[in-house]
Amino acid sequence: MATHLFSRTPLFLALSLVVPSLVCAQQPSSESTDHGEAHEIDRIVVTASPLRQSADDLSQPVEVLSGEALDEAMSTTLGETLTKLPGVQSSNFGAGVGRPVIRGLDGARVGVLSGGLSNQDVSTISQDHATAIEPFLADQIEVLKGPATLLYGSGAIGGVVNVVDGRIAERPLDAAVRGRAEIRYGSVDDGRNAMLRIDASGADGAMALHADGVFRDQDDYDTPDGVQANSFVETRTGALGASLVGERGFVGVALSRYDHRYGNPGEPGDPDAGEAGVSLDMLQHRVELKAGLRQDFAIFDGLRIGYAHTDYEHTEFEGADIGTRFLSTADEGRLELTHRNFDAWSGAVGLQIGDRSFEAIGAEAFVPRTSTRGQGLFWIEQGRWGNVQIDLGARADRVRIDAVGMPKRDFSPLSLSAGVSWRVGDAWRLTANIDRAERAPAEEELFADGPHVATASYEIGDPTMREERANQVELGLHFNNGRFDVNASIYQNRFDGFVYLADTGEFTEPEPGEDPLPIRRWTQADAKFRGIEAEVIAHLHDGDGGNFDLRVFGDRVRAELDGGGNLPRIAPGRFGADLRWQADTWRASIGATRVMRQSDVAPDETSTDGYTLLDAHFAYRWSRDSFDWEVFVDGNNLGDAKARVHTSYLKDTVVLPGRNLALGVRLFF
């Protein structure tokens, strides 16, 4: 299937050009893009951008989590790992599930990428489906807030999260062997976690090899109300990669396996009656091929291609019995060409193509077997004149969705973007962005028709839906004078045909032994999102006793239908503060996050009380021979607060874990 899809495309032709170039040029490069090193955030290369710039060079708001900050934020799920970034929260369906929510948008509107290519799991189909991403193996995690449709298609109308894992090396390594390992224990769930990653190269540096793996066992976690039944998590994941790197490019392959089993705390069963709970067993196999060329040809000075084939399945067990199986097979290819500078302008053009087949088999097969094919062409351009920078871009897509027993649907999303960045003196930078983005509806939004246990409802799609359109305006302020780092944004996003799951007030006919289900319909209506987010870091002291930094952050989003009324399950506002101390071998921090009460609710939706989460981190690091060791203690929810996630369908029955102390050891070599 993959060969048939790509052999006639520019991706295949580009690969045939890159490989011979590498054979002729295998001299080590003096540059390095080691994502494993800790850097200042504004100096990290954002790999999600074809121009490979730092976050400070982009007019679009970007957050990058790496180094020690990533170590401290690391959690079982991707959403929980990112939840302290301004504008980013997490969905929740127990300890095993947490998808990023960006500025109140989630699901099919937030693209989750692995190394710049779509992850291709089925986490957007249902909130109880986990993302097939292992945060513990990330070198850095990049969050592009706001429409990222120009680069990654209609599935990124709300933003993108790109997990950089470094499995395919793009430049020679800076050491013959390097790696890291970690073991940790968590008190709240008797959690045992182990991680290992190794990168190695030959004497000439031309060949780079990679191996990684994670082992995780977490029991049902404790809460202020007792044990949260059926909240266990088990993960076994790993990958192998190999790359040929040279002065003028690279080519590499990576094979990965993700095996993730977890309980659904919304269906814990009844042990006293001999009724077992519902659990999900995910298995994903993935093959990635990537190549790049760094030399002038025609009007271009660089080429990158990527291809991924993904086989995914997960089975939902009712006790030991198979309930529903979800199967997905996907191929995706991506080509990026950067052109040489023309006066003040630099830029890139690209092609993205994909083919995905999805099928659900069993009692919860509420979406029919569906095939989705998409092609997209994009162009971005950046011009600089002194202290002024202008970013322009456009993308045209073609999406065909074919569901069994339903009429085929064709969509042609078109997205446009313009941004300006103006440096005022040495400390201030002002940004403004205008985006028009379009999204093709997802499978469940079009074709759902059946009971969906995760949402505790009978879902009905609308096969006549049109594209969802978003028009966003954003203003940003950035300040850095060595003593203070300030980043703030205010935005408004007007949706034409926003898609959401609405309560109808109706119920299904009751069946013997079963309660009637509320009927919910996927609906389109005009809507408006308004939000603000800010982060201030004050460098309080830098002296012999160490460095003291104070970080304060907050975010708030308001989402309403144009005709009046609130949209359901919108993330509440938050604010928080962290005080950090770091010396040569020691570091410690203490912080609190206040999540506000969410009372701006939709019809038939209940309010959610606010809560405060206290956390603290401590680490001591030392070196011996060529190894760096670190022992750490992480404390989460130290006040043992009862916390419910408003964006979750389970918020009335499931609370977040209570007080937790995690102890562990890290090794760097």
d(CA 189, CA 191): 5
CATH number, residue 204: 2.40.170.20
Residues 6 or more apart whose CB falls under 8 angstroms from that of 341 comprise none
Stated length of the chain: 669
Q: Which of 555, 521, 423, 528 is nearest to 480 (CA)?
A: 423
Task: Label the pairing between strands 207-218 and 191-201.
Answer: antiparallel
Instruction: Write down the pTM of the prediction.
Output: 0.90
pLDDT of residue 544: 87
CA distances from 28 to 32, 170, 203, 206, 294 (A): 10, 11, 11, 7, 13
Please write the tens of the pLDDT for every residue from 493-525: 999 999 998 888 889 888 777 788 889 899 999
pLDDT of residue 27: 41
pLDDT of residue 626: 87
Strand (E) or helix (H) holding 283 = strand 278-293
Tokens at 623, concatenated: 């070196």
**How many domains are there within the chain?**
1
Cβ atoms of 265 and 94 within 8 Å: the answer is yes
Cβ atoms of 73 and 81 within 8 Å: the answer is yes
Please write the tens of the pLDDT for every residue from 181-239: 999 999 999 999 999 999 999 878 899 999 999 999 999 999 999 999 999 999 999 99
pLDDT of residue 59: 82
Write out the residue range of the structural domain in which residue 141 sits.
2-668
Regions in the chain scoring below 70 on pLDDT: 1-43
pLDDT of residue 54: 79
Residues 6 or more apart whose CB falls under 8 angstroms from that of 8 comprise none
